[in-house]
Amino acid sequence: MQPFTPRPSQEKILRYTGGRLGIAAVPGAGKTHILSALAAQIIHSGVLQNEQEVLIVTLVNSAVDNFETRIKRFFDNPLQALYKYRVRTLHALAHEIVREKPSRVGLEEKFSIVDDREANSIRHESAMAFLSANPDFFDAYLDPQMDASKRDWARKKHLPDLLDSFANVFIRSAKDRRLTPESLRARLDSSPAPLPLVELGWSIYADYQRALAYRGAVDFDDLIRLALMLLENDAEFLERLQYRYPYILEDEAQDSSRTQERILSLLSGGPPSSLRDAPPIFTENGGSQRGVGNWVRVGDPNQAIFETFTTASPELLRAFIRENPHVDMPESGRSQPSVIALANQLIAWVMNAHPVPEVRDALQPPYIQPVPAGDPQPNPPEDAAAIKFIATKFSPEDEVEAVVKSIAKWLPDNMDKTVAVLTPRNNRGVDVTNALRAKGIEFIEFLNSTTDTRAAAGSLSYLLAYLSEPSSANKLAKAYQVYRRDIFGTKSKADSSNASDDGTAGRAVAEQVHAMLRKVGEVESFVSPREDSDWLSTLQESEAEPVINELNKFRVHIRRWLDAVTLPVDQLVLTLAQDVFTDAVDLALAHKLALVMRKAADDHAGWRLPELTAELAVIAKNERRFIGFSADDSGFNPEAHKGKVVVTTMHKAKGLEWDRVYLMSANNYDFPSGQGYDQYISEKWFLRNKMNLEAEALAQLTALESNGEFDWYEEGAATSKSRMDYVRERLRLLYVGITRAKRDLIVTWNSGRQGDATPNLAVEALRGWWEK
C-alpha cells in the first residue's frame, strides 16, 4: 500500500463520511491524489453494499487512467478494490446511462455515436448548404464601409469559416439548454419579434439533426442531454443508479456545465444546492448517507479556462461551495515561493485594482500557501532572480528568436531539468517548433498535432491530390517531392529507401527533375505514353543519365499508385505509405490515418478522392486535433522529457508543471483587458460594429427562452458582455500559465502582426510590482 502523509486540509477532507462537500484546490494541491485517497478510504471502510461503487467523474480520458492507477496504489492487493469504484468522463457516463435504456429516449437499440471529426463534417455540410441557399443572408451584418472588392473577399474567404464556427456554438448551446429543433421552431413561431440569428442557427441545427437521424446516430452533446432526460423521466431507473453509486466524487468541477451539474445532482439524490438538508460530514464515524446526496466536488474556479460560448461556468462551483460545507486546499508544493507570490499578487491585483470593476471576480481566494515543513513534496528553494519579465517590444518573429536564443543558452547546463514554452494558440506553437528545429534543439510538440503527424498527413494528401487529378503537372511535381521527401521534406530521420546507388539522388538532380515535371505539357505522355508520344524518350539525348534514371524510377511508382486507385481508400493510403515511408513512426501514423480515411469513406458514401484528400489536409494544416503516437493518449508526463523543450498551449498545459516556463505573447490581443484599444479574436473585421455573431445569437436564444417582457434582446449588448467574459477567462489563463512554473518563469510579449499590440495590463502590473 502506498504511504500517504496528508497535509492539514487533506486531513480534514479525509474525515468526510457523507453528504455534500465542496473543495476549492489551488494549483499543485493534489486534487487527483486526495480524491483517489478518499475513494480508497470509502472502499476500505466497508460501507459499500453488493453491486455498489464509488463513482469518480473527471474531465478527460487521460485522467481516467491516472485515477485508476492511483486508487490501486492504496491497496495491498488491487483485487480488494475490484468492482468497488468506477472512473468515467461525463460523456462515458452519459453513454452508459443512455445505453441501458435507449428506447426511453427515442433511440434504436444499436444507435451509434459520431465522433468530433464526423460531427464537424456533418455540421460543415449543413452550414455550407445554408450559405449556398442564402448567399445574401449576411449582407445586413457586413461592415457598410467596405468597398466591393473587400466585401467579395470577405464573402468567399471568411464567411464559410465564420458560419462553421457559429453553427458549432449555436448547436452545442441549444443542446445544453435542451432545445430540440422542434421545440426551437415552436418558440420561434410564437416569438413577438424577429430573431434572425436564431432563425439561422435553427436552420443549420435542424439539418444537422436530420443528418444524424439518417445515420441512426447521436453526437456527444446529445448523449448528455438524453442521459438527463432519462434520469428525469424514469424514477425507477434513477433509484437503481442512486443505489449503484452511493458516493460521487467529481474532479475538475470548475468546468462543469448546468447539465452536468443536474445529472450528478440527480444521481447523488438531491438538488444542486441543499445546505439545509446536508448531513454532518466531518464525523469520526459514519456510514453511507445515500438519498441525501453524497457528492464531493473538487476544482479550482481560478483555473476555469474552457468556458467561452458554453454554459460551463466557475460560478456553478463557487455557488456550490458557498451553499454547502466546504474545505479549501491552499497548500501546494509545486512552485518556489517567488512564483507563489506572483500568482497570489495576480489574484489580489485583479480583485482590487483591475481597471474594469466588472471583471474583478475573475480570480478569487484561496491564495496559494507553501507546504508545511517536512512535507514529502517540499517547495523548491526561493530564487527571486528566476522570475523575469522581458519588457522589450518584440515583433512576433523577434519574440520567437529571443525565446529560442534563451533556451539555447540555458539548456546545455540543465539537461536534467524540464522546460516548456507555453503559447496562447497552436499556430504560435508551430512557429516556436520551427525555430527550435532550425537551431537543432530537441523538442516535444504537445499541440493539436505533431510535426511528424502533420508531415505524414501532408505527404499522403499530396499523393492523393495527384491521384484525384492525374492530368495536373503541378500535382505530379508535388507527388515527386513526396517521393523524394528525404531531400524536399522535413523529417526527423532521412528516408533513404528511394535513394540512388550512391545513397542519394542528389539535390541538384532532384530539383531538376521537379522543375521538369512541372512543365510537362501532357502528363499522360510521361506516365502512360503512346509509341508516338513519349515525353521521356524525347529527353534521352538532351538530359544526363542520372536525370533519366530518376524519371524512370519515379514513373514506376506513379504507375503502381494509379493502379491502386481502385482499392478501398485505407488500402490505398497504406500502399502509398509503404512506398514513401520507412521510418517506423511514419508507418504507424499512416496506419492511424488510414483508419481515419476509412471511417470518412464509410460515413460519406458519396465522397471521392478530392473530398477524402481534404480530410488529410486539415490534419496537415494543424486545424484539427489528431492523436498520433504520443503520451497524450494516456496522460502527458513532463518528467519523461528532461533536457528537451516541450512546446504546448497554455490550455493544454493545465495540470502539468515544468522547472522552467516561458510564457509568450502576453499582449493585449491574446490577453485583452477590456480597454477601448483592445482587440478580440472572436470579433471579425468585416462585420459592422465588430459584432460577435456567436454571442449575439446566444443572447437572442436566451431572449427566446425568456418569459419576461424585460428580458428581450438588444443588439450589441451581448458583444460587450462577451468581451468581459473573455477578459475574465484570459486572466485565469494567465494564472494557469504562471502556476505551471516550479522554479523559473520568463514572460515575453510581442507587438502583433500589425505592430500595434501592447503589453497585457495584468502583466505590466505584475512587472511593476515585481521590480519594486
| 21-62 per-position pLDDT tens digit | 999 999 999 999 999 999 999 999 999 999 999 999 998 877
User: Which three three-digit cell numbers place residue 555?
Assistant: 514513373
Cβ neighbors of 562 (< 8 A, separation 6 or more) are 467, 470, 527
Identify residue 86 by its one-letter amino acid code. R
Model-wide pTM > 0.85: no
User: Which three three-digit cell numbers place residue 494?
Assistant: 532521412
> In this predicted model, what pLDDT tens digit does every residue of 733-745 receive, in sequence order?
999 999 999 999 9
Burial class (CB within 10 angstroms; exposed 0-12, middle 13-18, buried 19+) of 585: middle
pLDDT at 451: 57
| Closest of 181, 267, 172 to residue 223, by C-alpha | 172
**Comparing 176-180, 440-444, 492-496, 547-551, which segment has the lowest mean pLDDT?**
492-496
> In this predicted model, what pLDDT tens digit does every residue of 455-514 receive, in sequence order?
777 788 889 889 989 999 999 999 998 888 877 754 433 333 344 444 344 788 888 888
Q: Compute the chain's Rg from CA coordinates.
A: 29
Q: What is the mean pLDDT of the chain?
A: 87
Strands 85-89, 54-58: pairing kind = parallel
Handedness of CA 475, 480, 482, 488 (dihedral sign): negative
Does the pLDDT of residue 632 top 50, yes or no?
A: no
Does the pLDDT of residue 290 top 80, yes or no?
A: no
Range 693-697, long-range pairs (CB < 8 A, 24+ positions): 693/141, 693/162, 693/166, 693/197, 694/165, 694/166, 694/169, 694/170, 694/309, 694/722, 695/309, 695/719, 695/721, 695/722, 696/197, 697/166, 697/169, 697/170, 697/197, 697/198, 697/200, 697/201
pLDDT at 292: 54
Q: How many helical (H) and strand (E) elements, i.e. helices and strands, does the chain have?
A: 28, 14
**Whether 131 contacts 677, CB under 8 Å:** no
Phi, psi of 376 (to 5 degrees): -65, -20
pLDDT at 619: 62
> In this predicted model, what pLDDT tens digit does every residue of 670-712 receive, in sequence order?
999 999 888 888 788 899 998 999 999 999 999 998 865 546 7
Winning range, highest mean pLDDT, from 198-202, 575-579, 752-756? 198-202
Return the residue matching grid coordinates 438531491.
270
Angstrom distance (rounded) from CA 363 to CA 314: 10
Arithmetic mean of pLDDT, 371-389: 95
Is residue 321 classed as helix, strand or coil in its secondary structure? helix
User: Which three three-digit cell numbers place residue 353?
Assistant: 485594482
> In this predicted model, what pLDDT tens digit does every residue of 415-445 receive, in sequence order?
999 999 999 998 899 999 999 999 999 999 8
pLDDT at 333: 96
**Whether 613 contacts 468, CB under 8 Å:** yes
pLDDT at 274: 36
Domains of the chain: 8-101+224-329 (3.40.50.300), 115-214 (no CATH), 351-448+638-771 (3.40.50.300), 452-621 (1.10.486)
- Give all strands (DSSP E) within 587-667, no chain letters: 645-649, 658-663
Does the pLDDT of residue 634 top 50, yes or no?
A: no
pLDDT at 709: 53
Does the pLDDT of residue 155 top 70, yes or no?
A: yes
Return the residue matching grid coordinates 505527404.
459
Does the pLDDT of residue 626 top 80, yes or no?
A: no
**Comparing 310-319, 382-391, 587-596, 747-756, which segment has the lowest mean pLDDT?**
587-596
Q: How confident is the model at residue 277 (pLDDT cuts 50, 70, 90)?
A: very low
